[in-house]
Chain A
Amino acid sequence: MTEFLRLDLAALLAAVLACLACGLIGNLLLLTRQSLLGDAISHAVLPGIVLGFWASGSRAAPPLVAGAMAAAVTAALLIALVRRLTRLEPGAAMGVVFSGMFALGLVLIEVTGARAVDLDVDCVLYGQLEALIWPAAEGLGSLLDPAALAEFPAEVKTLAAILALTLGLLALLWKELRLVAFDPDFARTIGFAPRLVSVLVLVLVSAACVAAFWAVGSILVIAALVAPAAIARLLTNDYAAQFAISALAAVAMGGGGYWAAVLVPDALGLGHGLNAAGMMAVVAGLLLAGACLLGPFGPAGRARRRAAVAVGPVRVPAPAAE
């Protein structure tokens, strides 16, 4: 038990929290057909993270989050500018901007010497779940011991804070987010500033990207952003259920991925675990395939409906005044 607390608890928590924070905000990207913006931002925040890391010399959250947000906003503005000037489709404009910024981030890692500390290319690609350990744990009692808890990895605390922020904003702006996602023009005409709300979503996405960066790296974060929402989309037509199911899928993806990559090989006595971040994406892929094939809108669901449908769609009742 103590070994689990020391070696696995922080990493497992980080995996689950990262998937939750990304997965919840990912719903708003998916529903506004901006999943690729998540892709773009997750790549584009890298130079911001590196510069924040370089300036502060630590993995402490605030400078990194600030750097990442600045990078995300820059990327969004650049994408809009490139689109407008080149008149290319949005995907191409994103491709230009995010690949350029990602390259800049990779070069900055070398140039700033960040590599020498503990931000390296491997972390960018796979995350560093295995680095999240809690050596101060002495047993279950440590969970209530303030001194031991103070030693708990800061990355996990950052993740928890950002998840709390995401949940809070989702709850407060529940109806505004839905309005702006569905019909931004109408929102604007009734005085609900859609740009402000979009910028807020952008900020939340970049915050989630930074927070999840240490857990899964900057490429696999895309899976955490898009997969839970996509799984939910395949299972429900209800707005609230969309969020609830995506949260469940995110927990399954984070927890299941870590379990399959680290705990299973451990239990089987294999000397070498698998990469947990990659395994989380693989678990998400399996869940997605299941939802695709077995969900109500997939082949299985269609067959069930064909069997059940006997009545055609109801006709519109004619207006009373006729």
Chain B
Amino acid sequence: MSGSPASGASLPLPVPALSVRHLSVAYNDQPALWDVTWESPPSGLVAIVGPNGAGKSTLLKAVLGLVPRLSGEVRAFGRPIAEVRRRVGYLPQRASVDWDFPATALQVVAMGRYPRVGWIRPLPRAERERARAALAEVGMAAYADRQIGQLSGGQQQRVFLARALALEADLYLMDEPFAGVDAATERAIIEVLQRLAREGRTVIAVHHDLATAPQYFAHVLLLNVRAIAAGPMATTFTPENLARTYGGRLSLLEQAVAAALGGGVPVGGATPGGPERR
């Protein structure tokens, strides 16, 4: 890892930020994740890559306990995840909520401060200011009092990112943070993520764009119901591993990979993605 950890909160020991052992999840009797065993690096940016229905979102949700596990164990920072909840932050898919909801951008970001406030107590002014600062970090200070439905898709994604930042977590699980955003927002988000990595935090993100994955992320987990391969991007994100992940189904994909690996020329639109099932 390059750079020195800026924050004292980061761990000096090389404990994996997240480790899952023998994790299986099934919806009804359709397996969505099968016996996934994986350790993330202690810090840095990690992409989860795989085809539609590969269980990428399900992996994040199973880690967070949002879907029931059939089997398996999840640890964060070497401890059971329930004990370190405060250090884990979640950024859900943008499409998972109703953006017509009568709330302002600031009110949504302030939800990221709720764990510090606790039940029943109203949000103190200082916490509201922290939320405002988080909003400013993603370049959205001017939109604090806008109703969220009046924001563009990219702006909504920035609001979600600001809410995650407001949590001040050490491990972030992000479900498609780049889905459906404009180029400026994509740059803004990756800058925030890189800053988090420099501070010694871990970001594990479901990522659909094979062309940009090697540019943005240092590590990768290739997932297709089972863990296919994992490790540093340079050695893991190989055409063979991708073929094993995607079943060699897409020729477009190979072009995208070739382009990405050979000089990082992005092939626009070569995302075999789309919304995860369920």
Is any CB of A less than 8 Å from a CB of B in the complex?
A: yes
B243 at the interface (CB under 8 A from A): no
- Of all chain B residues, the one with the shortest Cβ separation from A188 is B66
- Of all chain B residues, the one with the shortest Cβ separation from A176 is B119
Q: State which of B107, B114, B184, B187 has its C-beta within 8 Å of the C-beta of A192.
A: B114
Q: Which of A269-314 contact B (CB under 8 A)?
A: 313-314
Q: State which of A173, A233, A322 has its C-beta within 8 Å of the C-beta of B120.
A: A173
Do B103 and A178 touch across chains, with their CB atoms under 8 A apart? yes
Q: Which of B53-85 contact A (CB under 8 A)?
A: 61, 64-66, 85
Which residues from chain B contact A239 at a C-beta distance below 8 Å? 102-103, 107
User: Digit string of B86-99 for contact with A (CB within 8 Å is 1, else 0)?
Assistant: 00111010001110
B147 at the interface (CB under 8 A from A): yes
A116 at the interface (CB under 8 A from B): no
Q: State which of B65, B103, B138, B142 has its C-beta within 8 Å of the C-beta of A182.
A: B103
Which residues from chain B contact A190 at a C-beta distance below 8 Å? 85, 90, 111-112, 114-115, 167
In the bound assembly, the distance between CA atoms of A182 and B98 in angstroms comes to: 7
- The verdict on A322 contacting B123 (CB below 8 Å), with A182-B101, A237-B147 known, is no
| Interface-central residue, B114, B115, B152, B185, by most chain A CB under 10 Å | B114
Do B115 and A191 touch across chains, with their CB atoms under 8 A apart? yes
Q: Interface residues of B, CB < 8 Å — how many?
A: 45
Q: Which of B138-180 contact A (CB under 8 A)?
A: 138-140, 142, 147, 149-150, 152, 154-155, 158, 163, 167
A242 at the interface (CB under 8 A from B): yes
A179 at the interface (CB under 8 A from B): yes
In the bound assembly, the distance between CA atoms of A321 and B149 in angstroms comes to: 27
In the bound assembly, the distance between CA atoms of A273 and B118 in angstroms comes to: 52
10 closest cross-chain pairs (CB), A and B:
A319-B188, A189-B90, A237-B147, A239-B102, A319-B139, A190-B115, A183-B97, A189-B64, A182-B101, A237-B102
21 intermolecular pairs with C-beta atoms under 8 Å apart: A176-B119, A176-B120, A181-B101, A182-B103, A186-B90, A186-B163, A187-B111, A189-B64, A189-B65, A189-B89, A190-B167, A191-B115, A192-B114, A236-B102, A237-B102, A237-B147, A238-B104, A313-B152, A316-B139, A318-B184, A319-B138
Residues in chain B within 8 A of chain A (CB atoms): 61, 64-66, 85, 88-90, 92, 96-98, 101-104, 107-108, 111-112, 114-115, 117, 119-120, 122-123, 138-140, 142, 147, 149-150, 152, 154-155, 158, 163, 167, 184-185, 187-188, 191
